[in-house]
């Protein structure tokens, strides 16, 4: 897992973010982007039970609503009324 997948990650721009706990700058990808010991999985479409069939770009299908539709797995699902975390 990467720090960007943690609920404590705060986006700053397209290259980096900040850990809300340690207040340190964390790159989105590459060296230093690995999750720390305080990692808590963020609610994103890719970890929802309704997300399926992702392609090489992590574009998959959401079947949590009346009509299935495509969605990127990296989308935040904090406010989705049908989000249900995979175990």
Q: What is the CATH number of the domain that holds 36?
A: 2.20.70.100
Number of domains in the chain: 2
Q: Are residues 8 and 20 in the same domain?
A: yes
Indicate the DSSP class of residue 6. B
Torsion over CA of 6, 72, 29 and 77, rounded to 10 degrees? -20
Q: Alpha-carbon distance 43 to 6, whole Å?
A: 9
Task: Determine contact, residues 76/47, Cβ cutoff 8 Å.
Answer: no
Reply yes or no on whether the pLDDT at 74 is more than 90: yes
| 23-39 mean pLDDT | 94
Q: What is the mean pLDDT of the chain?
A: 95
Can you give the pLDDT at residue 87? 77
pLDDT class of 1 with cuts at 50, 70, 90: confident
Task: Supply the range of the domain harboring residue 77.
Answer: 43-87
Q: Are residues 35 and 47 in the same domain?
A: no
Reply yes or no on whether the pLDDT at 14 is more than 80: yes
pTM above 0.85, yes or no: no
Reply yes or no on whether the pLDDT at 25 is more than 90: yes
């Amino acid at each position: 897992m990467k720090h960007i997948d943690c609920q404590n990650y705060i986006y700053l721009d397209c290259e980096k973010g900040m850990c809300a706990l340690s207040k340190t700058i964390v790159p989105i990808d590459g060296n230093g982007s690995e999750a720390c010991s305080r990692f808590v999985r963020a609610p994103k479409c890719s970890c929802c039970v309704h997300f399926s069939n992702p392609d090489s770009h992590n574009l998959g299908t959401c079947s949590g609503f009346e009509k299935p539709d495509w969605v990127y797995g990296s989308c935040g699902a904090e406010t989705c009324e049908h989000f249900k975390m995979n175990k």
